[in-house]
Amino acid sequence: MSNRLKSIEHEIIKCMKCGNCQAVCPLYKETRAENAVARGKVQLAAAVLGGKLDYTAELAHRFDLCLTCMACVSNCPCGVRVDRVVLEARAALAEKRGLPLPHRVAAAGLARPALMQMGMKAAGVTQKLLFKRGERGMSPRFPVGLDLKRVLPALAKKDLKEQLPEKNAVQNPVMRVALFAGCVTNYVYPGVGLALVEVLNRHGVEVVFPKEQHCCGAPLLIHGIKDTAKEMAASHVHMFDAAGVDAVVTVCGTCGEAFRHHYPELLSGRAKDAGKALALSGRTYDIAEFLTDIVPLDHTLLGPLDTHFTYHEPCHVGRGLGAAGKAEKLLKAIPRATYSPMQDPGRCCGGAGSFSFEHYKLASQVLDRKLSDISGTGAGVVVTGCGSCRIQLNDGLAQRKMPQRVLHTVEMLAHSITGAREEGNYNGRQ
Ligand code: SF4
Ligand code: SF4
């Protein structure tokens, strides 16, 4: 019996098999397969725990098929933390079966910041050789493990660490915060980090940007690589403690969740890290939470934007951090901007980190419903709060030849505050 699954037995036995999760599971909607839905996964975990099932490749595949979108968790009358069951099952499977080679390679890179930096620079060069540039991004020239029609963003010429100073001071600051950028913001959308500094500086908030920061570890955790994720958590806990800031601000729900929820859990058994992990957890905020609850958005700073927009709520901002609706409220304050809500802003887009890379067809089917929602709003801009969702939405919009641009919440606010119209173009910073 796996100790890992034993540790979440209390979640497994809470399930009363009511099937409420079926109604909200984006993968069940596409596959109609019981083992794709939360109830089926919980029963699979119960069967392994009871010794009726072994750690087979088929079982690994079943647990792979989950977006960790938490829609089931929000809709479960028994409060079953299906996300925890799935993550522990993946960790147990990784221990018993070993990791697939691509996961081992990715984990080795993400866990070593210097290697990651070198790898991303090399990827920037090879992307130009292996991909061709289109209107909305880059598509593979050859089958490099990706669908040939897939559209991905170009890697940034200069990543955020190269563009943003460590200290972004203001006179008489009302607060001092640290930015945790995350990999997608650092390497793909550095404009999001620049926008955050611009918006917070205008609110009298000093922003420090610890340059030693690295991947939050969530991608490893999601693939069951728990021990390495634990070391990455410990590294950040001490780094951000040493920064001596009042708060840590994130621009990605998954990173925010890692800091707030996963780090204290991962480090709870380590005396030298546990207290600091809890303290960090208590002062980490997504930017939408920060501008709602900590330093409220100053409406007098906002300038008019003649924009018609809609908003996609990332799963890990809305359900993961419990911040649903906060970004929408901020964005609605922008003068002259027209907001048309989509039918279900919190429905998963299918991106889910690496899920869309590993299960492109299924992820695209999930995305298709979101694209129809977007189309129904008539909006010209889709705002969201997560880089991974942005990559997924941008690909779908390209596939369907839809004209909408995708922006991060904080970029839209920066545009309103500074009058800039292009990403990254704040106060002349590029
Ligand atoms: S909604 Fe909750 S209790 Fe009901 S079947 Fe799904 S996981 Fe089990
Ligand atoms: S987390 Fe999302 S994809 Fe996974 S079982 Fe729950 S609803 Fe389905």
pLDDT tens per residue across all 430 residues of the chain: 467 888 899 999 999 999 999 999 999 999 998 878 999 999 999 999 999 999 999 999 999 999 999 999 999 999 999 999 999 999 999 889 887 777 777 777 777 878 888 888 888 778 878 888 888 888 888 877 788 889 999 999 999 999 999 999 999 999 999 999 999 999 999 999 999 999 999 999 999 999 999 999 999 988 888 889 999 999 999 999 999 999 999 999 999 999 999 999 999 989 999 999 999 999 999 999 999 999 999 999 999 999 999 999 999 999 999 999 999 999 999 999 999 999 999 999 999 888 888 899 999 999 999 999 999 999 999 999 999 999 999 999 999 999 999 999 999 999 999 987 665 555 433 3
- DSSP letter assigned to residue 426: B
pTM above 0.85, yes or no: yes
Report how far ligand 1's centroid is from the alpha carbon of 356 (Å): 25
Which H, E and C letters describe 5-61, residue by residue?
HHHCHHHHCCCCCCCHHHHCCHHHHHHCCHHHCHHHHHHHHHHHHCCCCCCCHHHHH
Report how far ligand 1's centroid is from the alpha carbon of 88 (Å): 18
Three-state DSSP at 168 gives strand
Report how far ligand 1's centroid is from the alpha carbon of 99 (Å): 29
The finding on whether 106 has its CB within 6 A of some atom of ligand 1 is no
Candidate of 72, 73, 84 to mutate for ligand 1, largest count of ligand atoms within 8 Å of Cβ: 72
Q: Helix 360-377 crosses helix 387-399 at what angle (to 10 degrees)? A: 80
The finding on whether 116 has its CB within 6 A of some atom of ligand 2 is no
What pLDDT is attached to residue 70? 95
Q: In sequence order, which residues have a C-beta less than 8 Å from that of residue 50 and are 6 or more positions away?
A: none
As a whole number of Å, the end-to-end CA separation of the chain is 54
The finding on whether 21 has its CB within 6 A of some atom of ligand 1 is yes
Pair of tokens at residue 343 = 């039918």
CB 27, CB 8: distance < 8 Å: no
Candidate of 20, 68, 362 to mutate for ligand 2, largest count of ligand atoms within 8 Å of Cβ: 68
The finding on whether 73 has its CB within 6 A of some atom of ligand 1 is no
What pLDDT is attached to residue 428? 37
The finding on whether 71 has its CB within 6 A of some atom of ligand 1 is no
Task: Give the nearest ligand 2 atom to 41 CA.
Answer: 5
User: How many Cα atoms within 13 Å fall on the side-chain side of residue 247?
Assistant: 18
Report how far ligand 2's centroid is from the alpha carbon of 406 (Å): 25
Pair of tokens at residue 278 = 């809890």
CB 40, CB 18: distance < 8 Å: no
What pLDDT is attached to residue 423? 58
The finding on whether 85 has its CB within 6 A of some atom of ligand 1 is no
The finding on whether 326 has its CB within 6 A of some atom of ligand 1 is no
The finding on whether 70 has its CB within 6 A of some atom of ligand 2 is yes
The finding on whether 390 has its CB within 6 A of some atom of ligand 1 is no
Read off the pLDDT of residues 60-80 as tens digits, 9 standing for 90 and up. Answer: 999 999 999 999 999 999 999
Distance CA 213, CA 98 (A): 28
Q: In sequence order, which residues have a C-beta less than 8 Å from that of residue 311 and are 6 or more positions away?
A: 327, 328, 331, 339, 341, 342, 345, 382, 383, 384, 409
Q: In sequence order, which residues have a C-beta less than 8 Å from that of residue 166 and are 6 or more positions away?
A: 208, 209, 210, 211
Pair of tokens at residue 317 = 């901002």
Whose C-alpha lies nearest to ligand 1, atom 8? 15
Element housing 309 (H / E): strand 308-312
Candidate of 12, 30, 37 to mutate for ligand 2, largest count of ligand atoms within 8 Å of Cβ: 37
What pLDDT is attached to residue 123? 81
Chain CA centroid to CA 18, Å: 30
Report how far ligand 1's centroid is from the alpha carbon of 114 (Å): 43
* Domains (range + CATH), the chain: 3-97 (1.10.1060.10), 160-293 (3.40.50.1860), 297-418 (3.40.50.1860)
Report how far ligand 2's centroid is from the alpha carbon of 69 (Å): 5
Ligand nearest to the CA of 316: 2
The finding on whether 66 has its CB within 6 A of some atom of ligand 2 is yes
CB 153, CB 232: distance < 8 Å: no
Other C-beta atoms closer than 10 Å to the C-beta of 201 total 17
Ligand nearest to the CA of 346: 2
**Residue 382, strand partner residues:** 310, 406
Candidate of 80, 83, 84 to mutate for ligand 1, largest count of ligand atoms within 8 Å of Cβ: 80
Other C-beta atoms closer than 10 Å to the C-beta of 300 total 5
What pLDDT is attached to residue 429? 38
DSSP H helix total and E strand total for the chain = 24, 11
